[in-house]
Amino acid sequence: TYNPLYYTRISWILMKADKSLGMEYNERTRLLFEKQLENWDADFIDKTAFYPGSAAFSHTVIYALRGLYECAIILNHKEALQKFNASLHELLNIVVQNNGLPGQFYNSKYSTSYTCSTGNLQFSLLLLKCNDILEERIINDLLALLLKPVLKSQRKYFFNKGAIPSSLPVYKNYQRFRYTNWTQKFFIDVLLSLLSPDRKD
């Protein structure tokens, strides 16, 4: 019965598939997104956890936010864009106040004891798409803040050379002592987007 808000990313991919194949948007996908949008309120962060009542990682929070943004753009959905803007600025305030993106959130509180590097990378990707919402100077400052700890953590020698740990420090809560493939995937996506600002994906 639990439908976390990061399922907005599924709605986005379904819509993107329809668009790529030159098909009409599936009405069931649109209805799915509308239901997700109804559930998106001031407590949206708590609804992005893997399980109800558990902490949400920045990874899942940004998953949800990216899905909301992409669906809003595809559908030219004004209400979705408004909710995205409000949620984006809520997160940006937290980032500025704490000099970084907290690794996890729980019951409207958050932990700054560690960084979820996957979430930092995803947020960086999302910010690179927000040049019509935020000033370039602000985006660049935020990118430096989000990417600096991730780049410093990249393994330079021996085991897993070149890899990014999923948590910083590596022993913290998100994928403890792991170098997950999706963390590396988002790292590559950020590099490609920085090298090719016009890239669409």
Q: Please give the C-alpha separations between residue 3 and each of 64, 135, 146, in angstroms, as whole numbers.
A: 12, 34, 29
Percent of the chain with pLDDT over 90: 86
The helix/strand/coil state of 200 is coil
Asked if residue 199 has pLDDT above 70, the reply is no
pLDDT of residue 197: 64
DSSP secondary structure of 117-142: HHHHHHHHHHHTT-TTTS-HHHHHHH
In whole numbers, what is the pLDDT of the chain averaged over residues?
Answer: 94
Q: What is the pLDDT of residues 48-81, one digit of tens each?
A: 999 998 999 999 999 999 999 999 999 999 999 9
The predicted model scores a pTM of 0.93
pLDDT of residue 158: 86
Q: What is the pLDDT of residues 3-28, one digit of tens each?
A: 999 999 999 999 999 988 988 888 99
The helix/strand/coil state of 106 is strand
Asked if residue 183 has pLDDT above 80, the reply is yes
Which distant-in-sequence residues (6+ apart) come within 8 Å of 176 by Cβ? 167, 170
